[in-house]
Amino acid sequence: MKDYMRERILEIADYIIDTKATVRQAAKVFGVSKSTVHKDMTERLLEINPQKATKVREVLEFNKAERHIRGGKATREKYIHL
């Protein structure tokens, strides 16, 4: 793995752990695609730092479990403002 990839993966992992960010939010902040962030966090991070990978996985699982609630709130806000 190249050094720039390793640095990006660790930076994104720290960002997700610190801010509880979603994959989309992290992708936007770091200027990469959602697919890249997802692959980095689920596959590549495990090779680099398994402890961090576990923490990131917990955040991602929480976000996944809560996404239907966020979607409902966003839809509600949309129709309130119409």
The yes-or-no verdict on residue 73 having pLDDT over 90 is no
Range of the domain at 41: 3-80
What tokens were used for 53?
A: 């990978």
* pTM score: 0.82
State residue 82's pLDDT score. Answer: 78
> Would you call 21 helix, strand, or coil by DSSP?
coil
- Give the pLDDT confidence of 9-67 residue by residue, as tens digits: 999 999 999 999 999 999 999 999 999 999 999 999 999 999 999 999 999 999 988 87
State residue 76's pLDDT score. Answer: 83
State residue 46's pLDDT score. Answer: 95
Number of domains the chain is built from: 1
The yes-or-no verdict on residue 5 having pLDDT over 90 is yes
Q: What are phi and psi of 31, to 5 degrees?
A: 70, 35
